[in-house]
Structure formats: C-alpha cells, structure tokens
Structure 1
C-alpha cells in the first residue's frame, strides 16, 4: 500500500484521484499552479463524499477522515516524502515533460511516478525522467470515484516491481478492476471509444442526423447509457481532440483524423459541460442541442 500519494493537477481527473486515494487511507498531497482550482477541488471532493454518505456507501466519519488526509499546495517540494506521484495534467505532452522536470529533483530515489495520460506513449514520457524503470501508466476514467476500470500501461523500461505495485495500488488499495494495455496510442478504451465519438461528429457534420437523432439512435440502438455527443461533452471536446490528434499523428492513419466540426467547436471554446456549451447548451434547466 502506498501511504503518501502525490497528485499533480486539481482538475476533473486529479480531484477524483485525490478523492479515492484519501478514502483508501493514504495521505494525499494535491498540487496545482493556483489556489483557486485547489479550493474548488476540495469543495467538489467534499460534495462527492456527501453523495457517498447519502447512499450509505461511506460513513460521515469516513468523509471527515478522508478530507483530513488531503493537503494542497503549489510547491513540488511537498512531494519529498511521497511513495507515488500521479501526474494528471492536461493531455499535452510538452506540459507533462515540464512537470516531470520540475518534479524529479524533489522525489525520493525509490518513489514511483504514474501518469494518468489517456493516449500519450508511456515509454516516451518515461524517457524524459530519471527513473523510466519506476514509471508506469495508470489511466483512470471519469468520473474517477464511480468508474470501476483502471488501465495499467507498462512502458518499455517499466520494471516488473513497479508494474506489480501499480496494479496492486489500483486493485487492492483502490478496489478497481484493472485492464492491462500495451503501450500503443490511446491504449484500449480510447483507441476504441474516440473513433466512435469522432464518427458521430462526422455524422452530424455531414448532415446525416441531428444531435438529438444521433444520441437517441445510439442510446436506444446500442444500449449505451449516453449518446456519443453527450459523452464527448462530458469528456471535454478539447480532451477528445487531443486524444484524436495523438492517434492520428502516432498511428499515421487517416481514419483517426479529427472531424473539422470538432476542431471548430474547440476553437470557439465550446468544450462541453465544463464551459456550459458544446454539442449541447447547458445554460438552462435541460441541455439543448446547439445544432
């Protein structure tokens, strides 16, 4: 069991990872560049813990104990005693490399780095650190507390000991189900999911169906809980575009080319639920299609 865990990034993924790690009994140190996202993350974690209390999945005492184990800050020195640090920054390879450069001087020699990347080569990211043997892909899905799956991705240099510790972390410490993926772009889930989402956007772009028709057809025709355009808004259209760009560039296959309509929405800042507008407008009581 990892007793002290660092989490880099207080966004939608980072706060979820901090949430479940704190509930597991670990001391959690969550870092972001500004105080505002850290305060927002703590508030969201508290709200999500309250929902678990209301469902009787945890006790009020469990909630209070978990919150008491979360520390926040903006100085990488806070990670000096961490057994594991999970990087959960935006899906941007250069940004992740900068984070690792800032992080490494503050780590213990035996500390493990995990990346929550959803598509980027774990081997390539690990090569930019001083410990590729103690570096592993640990890909959580959103929303982290609710989603049972974690993908574990072994980089070319990841040691067997690091791999087993990360698998035990996900399975035994956090109670997740693990799927082992080879280190190929998009891994398993996003290699399959994002082309489907992209094709749904092309279907809209080409006028085959409306937003409502496409999502209704996929929900009722394939028993998906969310339609692909609803799901894209939930994931974040910027994240969808970033993953598709990795698939398109790294696999050099035109079938992964992002739909121009997706690019336009991202350029407009229509990123989905987090900005209040994507393929749906979330400003009212009920989401309304924007096309």
Structure 2
C-alpha cells in the first residue's frame, strides 16, 4: 500500500472498496472529512485512474476557490491506494463497498469484510437499488450491514440515503448517519424497499424520458430543458443518466422491473440498444450527449 500520513492523527479510518465512478468520489469526500481513507481495487489501472480523477477534482476546487492548496495536500496525504482488501479493511471504523451493482459480487465483498474488518466496523454498501436484507443474509454479522447510497458526483451532491435492512442495528444506522454528516452530507433513513426512494422515483422519470426520445416526442436537450426550467431540476433526466452511466441505469431498471413487476420499469428498447453499442454516457464519451475530457 502507498505511504500515508500518520494514522493516529487521522482517525477514524475508513475503507472504500471499488475505485470506479462512485468509489473514487466517496474516497475523496471521506479524506476531505478527515478520515484516514484507504481505496481498494483489484485493478491497478483503476486505482491510477481514481487518483487522477481525485487530483483533477481538487485542482478544479482550487480554481473555483472552494479548496485551498493546503487542503489539497491534506486530502492527498489522507488517501492511500491498495490492491489488497485485507490491507484496506484492517482496523477501520467503517467500510463502504462501491463495486458494480451485482448482488453476488457485493455479497462476497461484504463477506470478506466481516473477516478483514474489526468487529465494531460498520459494513456499508453503496447500492442504489439492491435489497440490504438480501445482501446481509447469510453473513456472520448481518446487524452491521447498512445501505449508504451516495449520489454522483459525490463531492457535489449533498444527499445520502441510509437504508436499514431487516437485521440492521440501531447502532449501525447511527454510525452510518454520523459518517455521512461528517462528510458534509444530509442523510435520510429509508426502509429496505426496491429502489429505496431516490432510485425508484429517479429511474421512473429517466425511463419515461428515454421513451419520449424513442417515440420522437422531443430531443434529449429539449426534454432536459423542460425538467430544468419547468420543474427546477438542477439537471435533466437524460443528462443525469449519462452521468450515472446508462449501463448502471439499465441494471437498476431490470432489477426494479423484476422485483416490483411494474411496466413503469421495463427497460426501453432504446436504452438496451445504446448499452449494447457501448454508448454508456460520460464514461464512454457518448450517450444521449457527447462528452469531452474537460466535462
């Protein structure tokens, strides 16, 4: 693992598992909040990309007057990067899993964390739709598992959904809430229901917007403008889908359609086709919009 600042000066400690779009953002805000932050991924190129994105975010923060050069150095000093889960989770106070939205993969990661992390550690999952109760089922300590659903981009978006599973303890919920507040987020506590609150509502709106494009009702730009100016949404549903990742949107839609049995969540053929073609949104450079490197 890369060298890091004196851990005793940076306690409490936190591990983020998965260095992708959400993982690197969570790691950044955790380090900014004063956590000794360890970011884990099995792919060295993912860790390198995460480091680059965090440094780019901090540079933009300095340019906009929201981050000082001293703060930048403190944040980078609080971060470390590792390919070894045991090293990341050792003696941390909270683990936040942010691997791809696959139930089996997330369950295996959480199982490994029950062995690697301290007995007191909160085991949080950043799932945006999967059942916390299902993820906790069969684990040695299901009471320690809780949902912490962050929003992209993590360093800008203020909301965190804290999702209580069937066996999640009050102490675990309190620990997740404390961590979210320390990171400057506003937490809300949600019962374990498919899609929770935000994904269920947001995906329904996003899928209907895609159907409108599919039917030729209006262009993506005009649909997004309608929601921004007519309903004061900070971003239209199609641009938001591009930002989140259309592959992620498709996975969530399939899950909600299967679990809720509602036609509202049946994935539009246009979404299926775009994902199959690799038009995933910002991460691939093209979705409903074209994205440049500086966006």
TM-score, normalised to structure 1, is 0.92
Matched, 1:97 2:110: no
What SS does the aligned partner of 1:13 have? Answer: helix
Matched residue, 1:280: 289
CA shift, 1:283, in A, is 5.8
What SS does the aligned partner of 2:65 have? Answer: coil
Matched residue, 2:208: 199
Matched, 1:11 2:7: no
What SS does the aligned partner of 1:90 have? Answer: coil
CA distance in 2, matches of 1:100, 1:253: 30
Matched residue, 1:289: none
User: How many residues are treated as equivalent by the alignment?
Assistant: 285
What SS does the aligned partner of 2:24 have? Answer: helix
Matched residue, 1:134: 144
Alignment map for 1:174-253 (pairs within 5 Å) = 174-253=183-262
Segments of structure 1 that go 5 or more residues without pairing to the other structure are 287-291
State the superposition RMSD in angstroms: 1.9
- Is 2:163–2:190's contact at 8 Å kept on the other side of the alignment? yes
CA shift, 1:127, in A, is 1.3
4+ residue runs over 4 A deviation = 283-286
Segments of structure 2 that go 5 or more residues without pairing to the other structure are 1-9
Matched, 1:146 2:156: yes
CA shift, 1:49, in A, is 1.6
- Is 1:181–1:187's contact at 8 Å kept on the other side of the alignment? yes
Q: Residues 284, 98 of structure 1: CA spacing in aligned structure 2 closer, same or farther, 3 A cutoff? A: closer
Q: Residues 211, 133 of structure 1: CA spacing in aligned structure 2 closer, same or farther, 3 A cutoff? A: same
CA distance in 2, matches of 1:110, 1:211: 47
What SS does the aligned partner of 1:265 have? Answer: helix
CA distance in 2, matches of 1:52, 1:198: 33
CA distance in 2, matches of 1:210, 1:52: 33
What SS does the aligned partner of 2:226 have? Answer: helix
Matched residue, 2:178: 168
- Is 2:14–2:94's contact at 8 Å kept on the other side of the alignment? yes
